[in-house]
Amino acid sequence: MKRSILMFCLALTSLASCSSTDDSDKNTSDGFDRTALLTYTADQRIIPIFKDLQAELTLLESTRAAFENNPNSAQLEQLSAAWLSAYKVWQHLQMYNLGQAATTSLDAERGFRTYFNRYPVDQQRIEELVAAGDYDFEAIPTYNAQGFPGLDFLLHGTSTGDAQAIDKFTSNTLAANYQQYLKNLVAHMQQVNTRLLNDWQNEYRATFINNTQNGQDGSFNQMANDFVFFYEKGFRAEKFGIPAGVFSNQPLPDRVEGLYKKDVSKDLALAALDAIENAFNGKAYQQETEGPAFKQYLEFLDRNDLVQSINQQFEDSREAINQLDDNFYLQVQNNNSQMTQTYDVIQAAVPKLKVDMKQALDFSIDYQDSDGD
C-alpha cells in the first residue's frame, strides 16, 4: 500500500516534469483577467450608459413640461427630438439585462426593457388607460402601453377621432388625461432608470465584478448570453426579421420599431448596431478607447480569425442597413426583398456569435441543467 502511494507520487511528478518541458505557448503569464473585464464593462460602459440615459430622460421631462405649458406643434417637435435622442441611447443599454434589471418587471424574458422598449404597443389599450385615468405602469395590463414605443404613439400617433397627433393634447375631450398619461409615463421611466442606476452604483457593481465564477450565474456568462440574445432577438428578429415577415407568411410592417414616427427605424437600428459593435470591441461609452471585452478575450485565446470574421459581419450589416429607407414601414411595403436580404446579412453573424464565439469562450447558452458524458 505504502509502496503504491509512493509509486503514484513518482508517476505524478514524472508526468509533471516531462510535460513542463513543452511549455512553449504564449500564455505563460496569468490567465485572462475576468475581474478586469467585468470592472471595465461596469465602469466604462454600463454605468456611463445608465447615466447618459438618466440625463436624456431628464431632458425629455423638461421638454415635456414645456410642452404641457405650451402645447403647440413647435414644442411637440422638440419633445419628439428629445424622445429620439433618448431612444437611441436606450439602444446601448438594452443588452445589459443584468442584476435588478432582469427582475424589475414580471416579464422574465424582457426584464427592464418591458418599461422601455416593448413593441408594438396596443393603441386601443393606451386609449382605454387614458380614458380610465387609473393605471399602474408596473402592472401587466400596461406592459404593451408604455416605454419609448408608448411615447412614440403619444407624440406621433393619431388617437381615435382625432385628425393629427397633437390633437390628443389639445382638442381631444380627454386632453388633460393624455397630458397626465404622458407625464406619468416619462416619470415612470425616470423612476425605473434611477432605481437601476442607484443599484449599480451602490450595490450591484461589487456583486457583478466579484461574481467571476464560471457557472450559468457567473457575471461573464450572463453578460455574454444577454449580448447574444440582444443580437439575435432584439436586433435581428425584432428590428428586421419580424417586420419583413421571415417568421410568418406575410410581411408585418406594423411591427417596425418607431412605428408612429416611421422615419426613425433605420436610425434606431444603426444605433443598436453601434451598441453591439462597441460592446464586442470593448469601446468605452462615448469614447475612443478600448478595454477588455469579447474581442480581447478571443484574441487572448488566439482567435483573431474569429474576431475579424465577426467584425466583418458587423460591417456587412451596416452597409446593407445603410441601403435601406429611413422608414422601415415603407421599406417593407415597397421593397421587402431588400429587407429580407438585409436580414440574411445580419443573420450570418448569428452562428459566429452563438456557435463559434460561444465555443471559443466556452460560456453556456442558457440550457437546461442535466448530466453530460
Partner 1 sequence: MRNSLSSYLQQQTSAAPLAVFRIGFGLMMFYSILRFAFKGWIEQLYIAPQFYFPYYGFEWIKPLGTYTYLLFALCGLSAFLVAIGYKYRLTILVFFLSFSYIELMDKTNYLNHYYFISVLSFLMLFLPANAYFSVDAYQRKYHYPKIPRWTIDSIKLLLGMVYFYAGLAKINSDWLLKAMPLKIWLPSKYDLPLIGESLMHKEWFHYAMSWSGMLYDLAIPFLLLYRKTRWLAFILVLVFHIFTRVLFPIGMFPYIMIVSTLIFFDAQLHEKILNGFRRFTRAFKNKTKALSYPLHTSVKQKISYSILVVFFAWQLLFPWRYLLYPGELFWTEEGYRFSWRVMLMEKAGYAQFKIVNPQTQESFYVDNTRFLTPRQEKQMSFQPDFILDYAHFLGDYYKAKGMPAVEVYVDCFVALNGRLSKRYIDPKLNLYPIKDTFKHKDWILPLDDEIKGL
Non-local (6+) Cβ contacts of 351 within 8 A are none
Cβ closest to partner 1, residue 254 vs residue 305: 305
CA–CA separation, 154 vs 347, rounded Å?
Answer: 33
276 is an interface residue for partner 1 by CB under 8 A: no
363 interacts with partner 1 by CB under 8 A: yes
* Residue whose CB is less far from partner 1, 71 or 218: 218
Q: Residues 150 to 209: which contact partner 1 by CB under 8 A?
A: none
Residue 90 has a CB neighbour count (10 Å cut-off) of 25
Q: Does 217 bind partner 1 (CB under 8 A)?
A: no
If the CB atoms of residues 134 and 373 are measured against partner 1, the closer one turns out to be 373
Among 20, 69, 173, 202, binds partner 1 (CB under 8 A): 20
Cell numbers 397627433: residue: 165
Of 161, 83, 175, 101, residue with least CA distance to 131:
175
Nearer to partner 1, 276 or 306 (CB): 306
State in angstroms the smallest separation of the CB of 23 from partner 1: 5
Over the window 331 to 350, marking each residue x when it contacts partner 1 by CB under 8 A and - when it does not, the resulting string is ----------------x--x
Restricted to residues 22-41, the positions that interact with partner 1 (CB under 8 A) are: 22-25, 27-28, 30-32, 34
Is residue 370 close enough to count as binding partner 1 by CB under 8 A? yes
Which of 93, 158, 100 lies closest to 126, judged by CA? Answer: 158
Question: What's the CA gap between 373 and 359, in Å, rounded?
Answer: 17
Among candidate residues 192, 86, 226, the one with its CA nearest the CA of residue 200: 192
String marking each residue 126-145 x if it binds partner 1 according to CB under 8 A: --------------------
Q: Which of 318, 319, 317, 340 is nearest to 328 (CA)?
A: 340
Rounded to an integer, what distance in angstroms lies between the CA atom of residue 23 and that of residue 37? 27
Residue 356 makes contact with partner 1 by CB under 8 A? yes
Query: Applying CB under 8 A, does 301 fall inside the site for partner 1?
Result: yes
In terms of Cα–Cα distance, which of 133, 144, 149, 124 is closest to 262?
149
Question: Strand locations in the chain, DSSP E?
Answer: none
Residues lying near partner 1 in the complex (CB under 8 A) are found at 1, 4-5, 7-8, 11, 15-16, 19-20, 22-25, 27-28, 30-32, 34, 212-215, 218, 241, 245-249, 301, 305-306, 309, 347, 350-352, 354-356, 358-363, 365-373
